[in-house]
């Protein structure tokens, strides 16, 4: 056997192998495209097998069979064009020309009984070349539109088509060459044919290992993008990012529907406006896939789902690939990919959609776990706070209560032993003072718990903050200290006067408590751009810089505050912040340790009701 014969045998073996493989695919999943591919290679394989049988057994060529084979070969470029038409729209005029070409070539062969005159032969070869070129270009363009395995396969198919076209061109022109060059085209044709066979094999029947290798980069880039997704702020943003990622990986548009067990529906946030936002147990394709848990390819979306046909048409959706999103027996939703053309290799695209859906499931599951962990943490935090709260409250209530009980017992004993002695006024005053302190602490605790329930602020009414501040400054709860109120004009807004008064009183009490006896405490009130500004300033111990960020947190007390010297629970500022925020305002503090503090309250001056 010569080298050329070996090449020829190899080429033929590959073409027959491709035919067997694509026929198997077409039998398993009958789509127009898979049948057209099988037809195309059927034509080639028949021609090859016939010529092999004839040469191997030295049979004389049977006229009829030879004619059938010739006709099949003539039909090849037309079959290729049919295939192109399956996934991109071949203009009607090109189709008609191709059909006319097949018919005319066939007539020419039949009429001339196989010995076609050179001009007609040239015309037929040119027709072959033109159709092959057209198809090759169409495959290249389809490749550009696709992604992953499909893209690579289409590139291989385009290469195979070009090589086959050139091989036919060379073979077709061979009879026209002078006898001295006769050997050249045969060798060239054989080599080109072998190259086209290999390219077609890679394109139409690539081995699994090659598909996996082609899939990897796409998947890897999707995973790279996806790695940070579970940490996004909410599931909605994750779904959006997943849709974008899946879309660009697939070279299509994608939408994800998440299962909502409460309504028993799939909820879509389809950015392309094709799907309704909620899909229930109707005959919607996504629901079908979700229920059966089987990925599906719908070549003609409008036909598969007539109710959405007009939406599909207006938004340029031709076919659909849908895969279920599930993780460990848990059905989470479905991933839909829309394409404006039919995928040539639907099984590969469907494979990719399946893989992406699996990845989406992993990401959504991680997110659910993160949420669950956060819920557990919040629960533990709440339990810890409750414990803190109880122990802080118990501790702070105990001190005045002990004084109160001791003082009362002393008075009781005194009354028993010296019934006629005059009343111990300082002792009684101490009882009243500690009783008041106790009652203030209990009120603080109640306020903090009301604040949690959002029930702290009551009816609002027009309030002049300047007048209110003067009123608060006049109260006698500041150890006789002078409080200065500075304001140019009334500052009126709609507030709960009792609660805003409480804020002012608390800030002034703190200013007094944490500053030396003789130092000044002042309230400055002003307004600007529809907002009221209240500053409470003292020249006291100040707040260490490290404490400032936590100053308004529940139970937080400055590290420069000695519990025995300054009584308190660390709830006052927390309550002030809550009251101000429930009025739509904000609080802040500026302070330097040892130099004093200014607590700043800003309240909106809404129109009074």
Contacts for 237 with CB less than 8 Å, ≥ 6 apart: none
Contact 270, 279 (CB under 8 A): no
Q: In whole angstroms, how close is the CB of 523 to ligand ADP at the nearest point?
A: 12
Number of residues that bind ligand ADP (CB under 6 A): 20
Q: Which residue, 218 or 447, has its beta carbon nearer to ligand ADP?
A: 447
Beta strands at 278-279 and 265-268: parallel, antiparallel or unpaired: antiparallel
Nearest partner of 536 among 523, 525, 548, 526, judged by Cα: 523
Which one among 42, 435, 568, 604 touches ligand ADP, defined by CB under 6 A?
568
Residue number with CB closer to ligand ADP (102 or 551)? 551
Residue 557, both tokens: 């007390």
Give dist(CA 281, CA 263) in Å, integer. Answer: 10
Task: Identify the H or E element spanning 66.
Answer: helix 63-87
CB of 444 to ligand ADP, least distance (A): 8
- Using rule CB under 6 A, residue 558 touches ligand ADP: yes
Residue 347 or 590: which CB sits closer to ligand ADP? Answer: 590
List, in sequence order, every beta strand (DSSP E) within 295-453. Answer: 296-298, 319-327, 330-339
Single out the residue of 337, 339, 597, 601 in contact with ligand ADP (rule: CB under 6 A): 597
DSSP letters spanning 278-297:
EE-SSS-HHHHHHHHT--EE
Nearest to 479 by CA among 502, 500, 508: 508
Of positions 153, 481, 557, 583, contacts ligand ADP by CB under 6 A? 557
Site of tokens 């718990």: 449
Return d(Cα 149, Cα 562) in angstroms, integer. 71
Q: HSE-up of 444 (CA within 13 Å, CB side)?
A: 24
- Minimum distance of ligand ADP from residue 405's CB (angstroms): 22
Gap between the terminal Cα atoms of the chain: 105
Cβ atoms of residues 330 and 360 within 8 Å: no
Closest CB to ligand ADP among residues 18, 571: 571
Q: Which is nearer to ligand ADP, 143 or 540 (CB)?
A: 540
3-state secondary structure at position 605: coil
Cα–Cα distance, 181 to 187 (Å, whole number):
11
Q: How far is the CB of 564 from ligand ADP (least distance, A)?
A: 13
- Does 585 sit near ligand ADP (CB under 6 A)? no
- Residue 561 engages ligand ADP in binding (rule: CB under 6 A): yes
State both tokens at 130.
């033109």
Q: Which helix (H) or strand (E) holds 467?
A: helix 465-474
Nearer to ligand ADP, 143 or 578 (CB): 578
Of 439, 440, 410, which Cα lies nearest the Cα of 426? 410
Q: Which is nearer to ligand ADP, 259 or 574 (CB)?
A: 574
Minimum CB–partner distance for residue 384 and ligand ADP (Å): 19
From 90, 511, 534, 601, residue interacting with ligand ADP (rule: CB under 6 A): 511
How distant is the alpha carbon of residue 357 from its chain centre?
A: 12
Q: Where are the strands (E) in 151-310, listed by range?
A: 253-260, 265-268, 278-279, 296-298
Alpha-carbon span 441 to 394, nearest angstrom: 10
Residue closer to ligand ADP by CB (options 131, 571) is 571
Q: Which is nearer to ligand ADP, 288 or 577 (CB)?
A: 577
Of the candidates 301, 569, 579, 580, which one interacts with ligand ADP according to CB under 6 A?
569
- Taking the complex as a whole, how short is the minimal distance between the CB of residue 401 and ligand ADP, in angstroms? 17
Q: Is 424 within 8 Å of 414 (Cβ atoms)?
A: yes
| Minimal distance, residue 392 CB to ligand ADP, in Å | 10
> Does residue 502 touch ligand ADP according to CB under 6 A?
no
114: closest CA among 78, 165, 77, 61? 61
Closest approach of ligand ADP to the CB of residue 398, in Å: 15
User: Least separation, in Å, of the C-beta of 248 and ligand ADP?
Assistant: 52
What is the smallest separation between the CB atom of 379 and ligand ADP, expressed in angstroms? 26
134 vs 140: CA distance, rounded Å: 10
Q: Which is nearer to ligand ADP, 206 or 558 (CB)?
A: 558
Q: How many CB atoms lie within 10 A of CB 251?
A: 20
- Judge contact between 222 and 356, C-beta under 8 A: yes
Tell me the window of 64-72, 135-143, 347-355, 572-580 that interacts with ligand ADP (CB under 6 A).
Answer: 572-580
Question: Among residues 195 and 579, whose Cβ is nearest to ligand ADP?
Answer: 579
Cβ-closest position to ligand ADP: 568
Sign, CA torsion 521/522/523/529: negative
The binding track of 517-556 with respect to ligand ADP, each residue x by CB under 6 A or -, is: ---------------------x-xxxx-------x-----
Cβ-in-10-Å burial (0-12, 13-18, 19+) of 84 comes to buried
Which phi and psi (to 5°) does residue 596 adopt? 110, 175
| Residue 454 Cβ vs ligand ADP, minimum distance, rounded to whole Å | 20
Closer to ligand ADP at the Cβ: 493 or 542?
Answer: 542
Does position 570 bind ligand ADP by CB under 6 A?
yes
Nearer to ligand ADP, 410 or 566 (CB): 566
Minimum CB distance to ligand ADP, residue 429 (Å): 23
> Which member of 138, 159, 573, 603 binds ligand ADP (CB under 6 A)?
573
| CB of residue 551 to ligand ADP, shortest distance in Å | 5
Name the residue nearer to ligand ADP (CB basis): 67 or 535: 535
C-beta of 548: minimal distance to ligand ADP in Å? 10
Q: Which residues bind ligand ADP (CB under 6 A)?
A: 510-511, 514, 538, 540-543, 551, 557-558, 561, 568-574, 597
């Amino acid at each position: 056997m010569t080298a050329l014969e070996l090449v020829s045998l190899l080429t033929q073996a590959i073409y027959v192998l491709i035919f067997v493989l694509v026929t198997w695919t077409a039998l398993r999943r009958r789509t127009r495209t898979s049948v057209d591919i099988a037809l195309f290679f059927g034509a080639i394989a028949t021609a090859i097998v016939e010529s092999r049988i004839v040469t191997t057994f030295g049979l004389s060529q049977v006229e009829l069979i030879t004619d059938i084979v010739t006709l099949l070969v003539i039909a090849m470029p037309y079959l290729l064009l049919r295939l192109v038409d399956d996934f991109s729209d071949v203009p009607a005029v090109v189709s008609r020309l191709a059909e006319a070409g097949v018919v005319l070539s066939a007539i020419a062969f039949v009429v001339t009984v196989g010995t076609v005159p050179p001009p007609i032969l040239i015309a037929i070869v040119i027709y072959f070349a033109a159709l092959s070129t057209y198809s090759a270009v169409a495959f290249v363009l389809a490749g550009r539109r696709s992604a992953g395995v499909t893209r690579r396969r289409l590139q291989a198919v385009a290469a195979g088509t070009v090589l086959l076209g050139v091989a036919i061109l060379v073979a077709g022109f061979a009879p026209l060459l002078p006898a001295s060059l006769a050997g050249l085209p045969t060798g060239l044709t054989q080599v080109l044919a072998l190259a086209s066979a290999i390219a077609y094999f890679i394109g139409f029947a690539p081995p699994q290992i090659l598909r996996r290798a082609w899939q990897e980069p796409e998947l890897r880039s999707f995973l790279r993008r996806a790695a940070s997704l579970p940490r996004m702020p909410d599931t909605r943003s994750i779904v959006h990012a997943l849709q974008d990622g899946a879309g660009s990986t697939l070279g299509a548009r994608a939408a994800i529907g998440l299962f909502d067990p409460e309504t028993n529906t799939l909820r879509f946030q389809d950015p392309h406006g094709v799907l309704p936002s909620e899909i229930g147990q109707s005959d919607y394709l996504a629901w079908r896939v979700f229920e059966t848990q089987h990925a599906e390819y719908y070549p003609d979306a409008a036909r598969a789902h007539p109710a959405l046909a007009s939406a599909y048409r207006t938004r340029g959706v031709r076919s659909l690939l849908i895969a279920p999103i599930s993780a460990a027996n848990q059905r989470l939703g479905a991933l839909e990919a829309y394409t404006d053309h039919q995928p040539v290799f639907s099984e590969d695209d469907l494979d990719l959609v399946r893989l992406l859906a699996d990845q989406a499931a992993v990401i959504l599951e991680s997110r659910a776990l993160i949420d669950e962990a956060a819920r557990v943490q919040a629960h533990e935090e709440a339990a810890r706070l409750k414990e803190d709260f109880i122990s802080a409250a118990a501790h702070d209530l105990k001190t005045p209560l002990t004084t109160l009980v001791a003082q009362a017992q002393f008075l009781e004993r005194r009354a028993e032993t010296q019934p006629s002695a005059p009343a111990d006024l300082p002792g009684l005053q101490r009882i009243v003072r500690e009783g008041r302190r106790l009652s203030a602490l209990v009120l603080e605790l109640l306020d903090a718990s009301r604040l949690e329930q959002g029930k702290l602020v009551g009816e609002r009414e027009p309030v002049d903050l300047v007048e209110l501040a003067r009123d608060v400054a006049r109260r006698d709860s500041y150890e006789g200290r002078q409080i200065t109120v500075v304001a140019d004009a009334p500052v009126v807004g709609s507030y709960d006067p009792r609660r805003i008064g409480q804020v002012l009183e608390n800030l002034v009490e703190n200013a007094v408590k944490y500053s030396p006896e003789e130092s000044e405490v002042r309230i400055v009130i002003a307004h600007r751009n529809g907002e009221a500004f209240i500053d409470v300033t003292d020249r006291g111990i100040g707040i260490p810089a490290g404490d400032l960020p936590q100053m308004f947190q529940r139970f937080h007390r400055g590290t420069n505050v000695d519990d025995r010297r300054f009584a308190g629970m660390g709830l006052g500022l927390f309550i002030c912040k809550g009251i101000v925020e429930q009025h739509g305002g904000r609080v802040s503090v500026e302070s330097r340790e040892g130099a004093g503090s200014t607590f700043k309250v800003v309240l909106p001056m809404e129109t009074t009701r």
